Chains A and B, each alone.
Chain A
Amino acid sequence: MTGVLPRETLIFTIARLLEGVRLVAVGAASPIPAAGSMLRRALDEGQRQVRLSVLGSVEHNFFTNGSAELFDSAGQGRLDAFFLGGGQIDGQANVNLVGAGDYPQSSVRWPGSFGSAYLYFTVPRVILFREEHSRRVLVEKVDFISAPGTSPKGVYRPGGPVALLTSKGLFTFDKTRPGFTLDSVHPGHTPAEIAEATGFAYDAPAATPNTPQPGPATLSLLRGRVLTELAETYPAFAADWRRDLAALAA
C-alpha cells in the first residue's frame, strides 16, 4: 500500500511532536491528538514509558481525583504535553475559545476557555491543533484572549506553545520573536496555498519541505493497535477512518 490518508499524516505528525514525553493529556473532542498520543506510546513501548490521559476514556485515563487532577498534575510539572484548539489563533499564538466580535455579547459564541488559561502557562509542550486552515481561524489578532501565546518577564510561565498543526501544514513557534515559522507542508498542499489561507504573518524558508509520512511499520501500528485503542473513546471517528482505509484499498 502506498497511500497515506491525510488524517494519518496529522496523527503521525503529532506523534513526532510528542517525542520524549512522559505524560500527555488529551482534552474533549480530540480524536486526532488522542490517536497521535496513542501512536507515541506504541512507538516507545519497551524503551520508555509514556503515560496517557484521554478525557472521556475509561481505559486510557488513570486519574482518580476528579476533573481537578489533570490541572493539579500540570501545576506540579508532571504534565509534559497538551493540545489546544481555538476558534481563532493569531500570529502571536494567542488563543480565543470564547467568541468572535465583542465580549460578552459575542456575535458568534464558542463554548469557552476550558482549562486553556491555566494549561497554556503550565504545560511545557502545548501543541496547537486546528484542522481548519483559513483566514477566519488564523487571524492577525484574536478578538478575545483565552490564553496568551507569550507572557512578559516576571510572569510564572514554564509552559506555552511549541507548534501549530493544521490540515495544510506544520508551523513551529518561537517565543523569543514571538512568531510562527512554517516548518513543513502536507502532501497535496503548497506554500502558496498556505500563505493565501493564513491571516497572520509568519516566517518561511525559501524552500519548505514536505511533512514526513509514516513508514510501513508505523502505518501498520497506526491502522492496527492505535485504531483499535481509539475506537473505545471515538467510535464514530474510528469507523470513518476504517471506511477511508477500505476506499484506499479498493
Chain B
Amino acid sequence: MQADLRAMATRIRPGMRIALPVDYAGVSMAMTRPLIEHGAGDLDLLCVPTGGLQVDQLIGAGLVRGVETSAVSLGEAGGAPRFNQAVKDGAIRLRDATCPAIHAGLMAAQKGSPFMPMRGLIGTDVLRHRDDWRVIDNPFAPGGDPVVLIPAIHPDVAIFHAPMADRFGNVWIGRRRELAAMAYASTEALVTVERIVEHNLLADEMTAAGTLPALYVTAIAAAPRGAWPYGLWGEYGTETDELIRYARAARTEAGFAEYMAQEVPA
C-alpha cells in the first residue's frame, strides 16, 4: 500500500462526514483499503448523489455510522450486499434522499447560503422521514405554493479520483462538475489521480476550464487505475465482472472479509 495514500487516510478522524462521488464520476477506490486500515469509524457518508462499491465496503468494514444517499447499488452487479444487510439490521442511520436534494444541499454550502429551495418532494415518504428538511410557502407567490428547503451540506472531507493533477495542486475534472461541487462544500478534499503532470493546468485555457484550482484541494496522490474496478471517463471502463465477483462474495460477512483480505491488482 502506498505511503502517500496511507498518509492521506490519516486525515480522517472518527465521526467525520465524508462526501463520495457516484460510480461513474471518479470513485477513489484506491483510498478504500487505506481508509479501512486507518480505521477511523463512526463516519457519516454522503453519497453524491448515489453510492456503490466503496460505500458498501466501508459499511462492511464497520466504519460507517450513517449514510445519506439517493440510492446505493452495484449497478449491473445488483444490490449492495453489506449496505442491504446493515439496513435490515438497523446498523446504520439511514437518510434517504433524492439526487437533486443532495446537489441542492451542496450548492447551498458552495454559495455560503443556509439552504436551497427545491421543487418536487411534496407528498413523498422521502420528505416525511427527513426531519432536517422544511416545507415553507413560497414567499414570492400570492398564496400557498409549498416548497421544500434543503439545508446546506458541509462535509468534512471529499474523497475522489480524477485523471490528472499538476504539481501545483490543481486537479483536472473535465465535465464532472459534481467533483467541484463536493470540493467547494467540503472543508478538505483528498484526491487521487491517474498521473501528476509537470506543467500548470491553469496555464492552458483548454485545460483551465475543466480544472479544480488548488484552493479547494488538500492533498493529492498518484494512484494509477485508482477507480478500479470502476471506470474513469476517458481513461478506462468499468470491470463489471469484478463487481459481480464482489457482489457474490460479500453476501455474507465471512465472504466479505475474505474478499477484502485479497490483494488488489495494481
Instruction: Name A's B-contacting residues (CB within 8 A).
Output: 28-29, 55-56, 58, 63-69, 71, 75, 97-99, 103-107, 109-122, 144-148, 151-152, 154-156, 236
Would B79 and A109 count as touching, CB distance under 8 A?
Answer: yes
- Bound-complex Cα distance A32 to B100 (A): 25
Distance of B27 from chain A, by nearest CB (Å): 13
Q: Which residues from A are CB-within-8-Å of B119?
A: 75, 118, 121-122, 156
The interface stretch among B32-40, B171-179, B257-265 is B171-179
Chain A to chain B contacts (Cβ below 8 Å), 18 pairs: A58-B233, A64-B175, A66-B175, A67-B48, A71-B99, A71-B100, A99-B87, A103-B129, A105-B89, A105-B90, A112-B70, A112-B71, A113-B124, A117-B101, A118-B99, A118-B120, A148-B123, A155-B122
Q: B residues 212-236 with Cβ under 8 Å of A?
A: 233
A109's partner among B49, B87, B179 (CB-CB below 8 A) is B87
B70's partner among A68, A113, A156 (CB-CB below 8 A) is A113
Distance of A98 from chain B, by nearest CB (Å): 6
Would B179 and A67 count as touching, CB distance under 8 A?
Answer: no
- Bound-complex Cα distance A121 to B124 (A): 11
User: Which of B79, B88, B107 has most chain A Cβ within 10 Å?
Assistant: B88
B22-33 CB mask vs A (1 if < 8 Å, else 0) is 101100000000
Q: Which residues from B are CB-within-8-Å of A145?
A: 123-126
Q: Which residues from B are CB-within-8-Å of A106?
A: 87-88
Instruction: Name B's A-contacting residues (CB within 8 A).
Output: 22, 24-25, 48-50, 69-73, 75-76, 79-80, 83-84, 87-90, 94, 96-101, 103, 107, 118-127, 129, 144-147, 175-181, 233
Closest 9 pairs (CB-CB, A-B): A112-B71, A66-B177, A118-B120, A117-B98, A111-B73, A66-B178, A71-B100, A111-B71, A121-B120
Given contacts A29-B76, A145-B123, A154-B146, contact A113 B97 (CB under 8 A): yes
User: Which of B49, B88, B98, B144 has most chain A Cβ within 10 Å?
Assistant: B98
B175's partner among A29, A65, A97, A114 (CB-CB below 8 A) is A65
- Bound-complex Cα distance A122 to B122 (A): 12
Interface SS, B side: mixed
Q: Which residues from A are CB-within-8-Å of B180?
A: 66
A67's partner among B72, B97, B99, B120 (CB-CB below 8 A) is B99
- Bound-complex Cα distance A154 to B144 (A): 7
Q: Which residues from B are CB-within-8-Å of A156?
A: 119, 122, 145, 147
Would B120 and A105 count as touching, CB distance under 8 A?
Answer: no
Nearest to A116 among chain B residues (CB) is B98
B90's partner among A28, A97, A104 (CB-CB below 8 A) is A104
- Bound-complex Cα distance A151 to B122 (A): 8
Would B99 and A114 count as touching, CB distance under 8 A?
Answer: yes
Given contacts A67-B25, A67-B49, A114-B50, contact A109 B88 (CB under 8 A): yes
Would B176 and A146 count as touching, CB distance under 8 A?
Answer: no
Given contacts A68-B177, A114-B50, contact A104 B87 (CB under 8 A): yes
Would A152 and B100 count as touching, CB distance under 8 A?
Answer: no
Distance of A71 from chain B, by nearest CB (Å): 4
B71's partner among A97, A121, A147, A152 (CB-CB below 8 A) is A97
Q: Which residues from A are CB-within-8-Å of B99?
A: 67, 71, 114-115, 118
- Bound-complex Cα distance A65 to B71 (A): 21
B79's partner among A104, A111, A116, A155 (CB-CB below 8 A) is A111
Q: Which residues from B are CB-within-8-Å of A114?
A: 49-50, 70-71, 98-99
Nearest to B85 among chain A residues (CB) is A109
Would B96 and A98 count as touching, CB distance under 8 A?
Answer: yes
Q: Which residues from A are CB-within-8-Å of B124?
A: 113, 117, 145-148
Nearest to A117 among chain B residues (CB) is B98
Q: Which residues from A are CB-within-8-Å of B50?
A: 111-112, 114
Beyond A146-B124, A151-B122, 8 additional contacts (C-beta under 8 Å) are A55-B24, A109-B84, A112-B69, A113-B70, A114-B71, A117-B120, A117-B126, A155-B122
Q: Which residues from A are CB-within-8-Å of B22?
A: 67
User: Which of B24, B72, B103, B107 has most chain A Cβ within 10 Å?
Assistant: B103
Would B103 and A122 count as touching, CB distance under 8 A?
Answer: no
Given contacts A109-B79, A118-B101, A145-B124, contact A104 B84 (CB under 8 A): no
Distance of B34 from chain A, by nearest CB (Å): 26
Would B79 and A146 count as touching, CB distance under 8 A?
Answer: no
- Bound-complex Cα distance A29 to B76 (A): 7
Nearest to B175 among chain A residues (CB) is A64
Would A155 and B70 count as touching, CB distance under 8 A?
Answer: no
Would A146 and B87 count as touching, CB distance under 8 A?
Answer: no
- Bound-complex Cα distance A104 to B131 (A): 14
Nearest to A58 among chain B residues (CB) is B233
- Bound-complex Cα distance A144 to B123 (A): 11
